A and B are shown apart, each in its own frame.
Chain A
């Protein structure tokens, strides 16, 4: 009896000891890995933000890591909102966002923040309508009224007017939108606000608008799931997602009056068409573009950095990475179904990167 009791006690003590040892081990490993940057010529950069460009940025990080073994960059796709928040709290070295930052966010940041555009994305309209084989065409006002809940039947004369020769069913239109906060929603509502005064007044533009009608799906996959499985639906998803999943996509009437099919080329065309009126800080909306081949629901996605970097070593690494990204990195864009920057916009981005300083002295020239 007493022997077995002792054995039990010893065993439990040993177990406790093992736990303690493990805890210390874990703690010491954690300490080591969070060691500061710059030691031994190694630099580590942290980024966080938009989920939309994440596949491209991960590709960039792995390719850039092959070329520069001493630079370690991590990117966490926690969403644009989270990226902006962490950048403002200075817990990351760069942020990323689909929509440009708002004035009040820029003002409340502890330093001047630059927008460096990296690639372009587009939002496409997809639908589930049996018996319709050719791509549907939508003019902007009709699209806005569908999402406002004012056009409720598929055979509405206004939809029919844009689609001569297509037999449209007399069914109710079921609108599907994103339920999660998303840059995709921000781009789409930015477009709708431009083409419809009523939309602008009633709903406005943002990552989580209050949709007048419809059901919400979580993520591109959620919207796609609902649209694919529910007859008579209409929804919007990212271009890359629609192409990968071979969804039917609508042609949209652009600011110049042409119906344009969404594609990488028509997105780049939208960027080129809007290049003339680019503001100095590059915070530009290119929705409802006017070029003959310009797809109207597109936008840049940005990496956000502080103009004046605190740490010259990290700042230099960041500037070099961004420079590589907008030049060499662009060639990975098309394979991953992003539209690369048009040439004149690369020049704008170069100017932004050149203006980054550390303690007042420029980083790029050195």
Chain B
């Protein structure tokens, strides 16, 4: 049994000198086996992504043929009448993720800076552990907490305050129920904060101590020293934000439970909204009829593309920052 992988490797290597050089520059059989295995694993991931895109595209063909680009522009989603448009879902997905990042990035940075630069060890350890523990809580638990704790809290204390202070803005209009885009965004913010802060903490730890010493030696205050560290870690921090954004875009259960699930585009953060992932999770089980199913699959394809595009934009931003500042964490 144990000889099998070894034989495989031998055969592969024995096929010719070119292969031997590619697979095992050192001529070591074990290295060759390892190389093939790792290459296979990497290839498998690419194959899975490609097969997903292909499968989603094939299954959404009836809907693509029926609606074309109107699917992206239309705001009507009426399964009974067979009218499907994705725009409200795209809006809800992007808007809730943006709210989440607006709230969570400052918090995450603060947590990470505190843990790395300011907190004594006996505080940094347990606090860091608790923050990471937040990342391990199942999203349905966040959802329940959202319904039973966060939504009533927002409805009774936060939203009336926002409405009376900023009610003249279009973002804070309409009936106050505690359920809607704002609540969805806040739940997402809480869910992505541990991810972003954990990565930022690692990035800040990776900034060489000599940078800090140099800054302090030049007479910088602690805050000025932290700014130097932040600029050094900027690309890594941006990478952390992208990771968090990825989670926010695809999050399903927790958002579904508090966002109100209504396919509409409304500027008001108090109004119910809907995300792509929630729509698929909600409607897939009872979707009858080929067009309906196909429209839901096309939503999945769009989520894939939205994630792809948003990630792409974020990466370009990172590259720009990196070019200007240099610094650690480039790989992230």
Contacts and interface: CB of A to CB of B under 8 A. Distances in A.
Interface of A: 9, 13-14, 16-17, 20-21, 51, 78-82, 84-85, 102, 105, 172, 174, 179-183, 203-211, 214-218, 222, 225-226, 229-230
B5 A16 contact: yes
Contacts of A218: 256-257, 261, 281-282
Contacts of A85: 288
B85 to A, nearest CB: 11
A203 B77 CA distance: 11
A210 B263 contact: yes
Contacts of B4: 17, 20
B298 to A, nearest CB: 16
Contacts, number: 120
A88 to B, nearest CB: 10
Given A207-B286, A216-B272, A222 B257 contact: yes
Contacts of A79: 285-286
Given A206-B80, A208-B79, A215-B180, A229 B151 contact: yes
B147 interface: yes
A13 B179 contact: no
Interface of B: 1-2, 4-6, 30, 76-81, 144, 147-148, 151-152, 155, 175, 177-180, 256-257, 260-263, 272, 274, 278, 281-289
Nearest to A10: B2
A215 B272 contact: yes
Nearest to B285: A79
Contact of B285 (A81, A102, A105, A206): A81
B7 to A, nearest CB: 12
A289 to B, nearest CB: 23
Nearest to A84: B288
A78 B289 CA distance: 16
18 contacts: A16-B2, A17-B1, A17-B4, A51-B285, A78-B285, A79-B286, A172-B175, A180-B285, A181-B285, A207-B288, A211-B262, A215-B261, A215-B272, A218-B256, A222-B257, A225-B257, A229-B152, A230-B178
A225 B6 contact: no
A226 B147 contact: yes
A229 B147 contact: yes
Nearest to B144: A225
Given A21-B1, A81-B288, A174-B177, A180 B80 contact: no
Among A51, A81, A179, A183, the most chain B Cβ lie within 10 Å of the Cβ of: A179
B80 A210 contact: yes
B155 A105 contact: no
B148 A181 contact: no
Contact of A209 (B79, B144, B155, B260): B79
Given A208-B282, A230-B178, 12 more contacts: A17-B5, A21-B1, A84-B288, A181-B282, A181-B287, A203-B80, A206-B79, A207-B287, A208-B287, A209-B80, A210-B76, A215-B260
Contacts of B30: 9
Among B77, B81, B262, B285, the most chain A Cβ lie within 10 Å of the Cβ of: B285
B187 to A, nearest CB: 14
A179 B81 contact: no
A13 B81 CA distance: 60
Given A179-B256, A208-B79, A82 B285 contact: yes
Q: Which 4 A-B pairs have the closest CB atoms?
A: A181-B286, A216-B261, A79-B285, A179-B261
B148 to A, nearest CB: 6
A58 to B, nearest CB: 18
A222 to B, nearest CB: 6
Contacts of B175: 172, 174
Contacts of B261: 179, 215-218
Contacts of A225: 144, 147-148, 257
Among A21, A79, A102, the most chain B Cβ lie within 10 Å of the Cβ of: A79
A89 B293 CA distance: 15
Contacts of B81: 204, 210
Nearest to A152: B175
Contact of A215 (B78, B177, B285): B177
Contacts of B274: 216
B262 A215 contact: yes
A197 B126 CA distance: 63
Contacts of A206: 79-80
A182 B286 contact: yes
A181 B178 contact: no
A183 B286 contact: yes
A201 to B, nearest CB: 11
